[in-house]
A and B are shown apart, each in its own frame.
Chain A
């Protein structure tokens, strides 16, 4: 699996040497609280370029919150979070930290794609319009170019014939594949998946995981909050087990799954496997 990661990194477009050394995501003691409720106590981890990281953990462990912090849907209260070497949500000058203007935060987000548990497709737009909306409005792409790219992406997720359909007429699995295509249309350098298969009927999970596997094989950097142990074992380069707002255990997925070191990891895995 580390092979895939390295080939993916070399296949990626040339970046300045200094940046290649920098991991795609670097979290340093990230802390997040809602009022007096501290959801993330101190999260430190790194995700390399072209790597796939799966985050597992019981509900309420803070894994979704951490994911939402990465593209600044939630504001980090402590520590530092870098994506591609860039501090997320803030600007640091000397030892002073400045909040970013919403427009600057929006600029950071356009390079970070997100796929939601409940798809969150725009129900008033067709599948094609869902995909070309952001490239047109945010990246100021021409309609023709955006449509061409969207058509390619739809073919890639196996939904070339659904361009004119409305989301409500699609199955959950199809909706989630459209959501992935929509995120890809912004050509993100990082894709975040927040329990992408949890809202799906069991027989529809496979089609979404297939698309994600293809994405991973193509060298996309991905962080996936999931309960799909099979996917984690097969595709992930690293597996993180979170509980109570901290990283309890992290490492090679097969090793963590077959030979967990911590009691809490053992207890959790015995319930989900």
Chain B
């Protein structure tokens, strides 16, 4: 074993002058004519489509696209869409995390409650839910906070208390929370059972174990799909017209086109903005995932129970120090 290692290192380190260095292989690379043919055909089709769209199709109305792309009303609407996305996602992550923990709690009442929540909010279309939130003021005309069986109370009309924007945020957040809770639950379940046992054996309570040991490790599994959900949420905000909220990107561009009787360029404007934001989010997601993949400290006992021995073997092979430590202690 030690022999193999020494010759190996000698070869890779400094080649001995006597040993002839091996001849490099200069092979003729394999040709791929099929790839070239496909590429040429596709590029030709694309070029034709672009030329056609630019010259022969006046309904695209490119001058209007350029005119409205940076229109102040449109950029304001982009901002509203971003606000909706961020606020709804924050709400969804908080509620979803809570629901996931409830779903896994030892308390059967909380478990059932969490199940019903996911059942309802995942089981009905988000559009229908948004219409319902829009009708909140019709169903519950006033909101009253008071002490039961007394007259002491504060009351608002629902319409004054909650704006359409916040109704949209609530609607989007609750729907998304159902999906986020499933993602968080999968993350929590991905943590090795031994982690839970080790924490419990140390006398930690269920809450401490969850907060300090399980959730931090579950993040590795939770974060990548959450990035997907953010992108999905960005596009779902185009449904808030159901509430009805009319200040978001899609509804605003449609309203403008209702005045100009020219819907196609504004659809293109909206699409361009959605694509731009999605692209920015994708870059963010790429770095987030890279960061979590890189930290080797997470690739360990957590997920795969076989990992530690493999890591151990690797570490011990390349590290004579561990043997020294043993000897030292043995002497002392």
Contacts and interface: CB of A to CB of B under 8 A. Distances in A.
A and B co-occur in one complex:
yes
Interface of A: 71, 73, 102-103, 106-107, 109-114, 116, 118-124, 133-134, 137-138, 157-159, 166-175, 179, 182-183, 186, 199-201, 203-204, 206-207, 210-211, 214
B197 A173 contact: no
A168 B197 contact: no
Contacts of B123: none
Interface string B287-306: 00000000011111110010
Given A109-B202, A120-B197, A134-B204, 5 more contacts: A102-B205, A113-B201, A122-B217, A171-B312, A171-B322
A107 B202 CA distance: 9
Q: 8 nearest interchain CB pairs?
A: A110-B203, A172-B312, A120-B198, A123-B300, A166-B297, A134-B202, A120-B194, A168-B300
Interface string B168-205: 00000000000000000000000010110111111111
A201 B313 contact: yes
B284 interface: no
A119 B297 contact: no
Nearest to A110: B203
A173 B313 CA distance: 10
Given A120-B301, A175-B312, A133 B326 contact: no
B271 interface: no
Contact of B194 (A118, A166, A182): A118
Contact of B316 (A116, A157, A158, A203): A203
Given A123-B302, A168-B300, A204-B316, A133 B202 contact: yes
B35 interface: no
B197 A137 contact: no
B227 to A, nearest CB: 20
Contacts of A182: 202
Contacts of B201: 71, 73, 109, 112-114, 183
A133 B202 CA distance: 9
Given A123-B302, A138-B204, A167-B301, A158 B312 contact: no
A66 B325 CA distance: 34
Contacts of B329: 157-158, 207, 210-211, 214
A91 B216 CA distance: 35
A123 B301 CA distance: 6
B328 interface: yes
Contact of A116 (B106, B197, B297, B300): B197
B309 interface: yes
Given A134-B203, A200-B312, A158 B197 contact: no
Contacts of A206: 326
Given A120-B194, A182-B202, A186-B202, A168 B297 contact: yes
Contact of A102 (B106, B312, B326): B106
Interface stretch (B16-24, B46-54, B206-214, B240-248): B206-214
B311 interface: yes
Contact of A121 (B212, B301, B313): B301
22 contacts: A73-B200, A102-B106, A116-B197, A120-B192, A120-B198, A122-B199, A123-B297, A123-B298, A133-B204, A134-B202, A137-B208, A137-B212, A138-B208, A168-B297, A169-B297, A172-B311, A174-B325, A183-B201, A183-B202, A201-B312, A203-B316, A210-B330
Interface string B67-107: 00000000000000000000000000000000000000010
A2 to B, nearest CB: 25
B322 A204 contact: yes
Contacts of A173: 312, 316, 322, 326
B292 to A, nearest CB: 11
Contacts of A159: 325
Given A137-B204, A186-B203, A204-B312, A168 B322 contact: no
Nearest to A208: B326
Contacts of A107: 203
B296 to A, nearest CB: 6
Contacts of B42: none
B277 interface: no
B308 interface: yes
Contacts of A211: 329
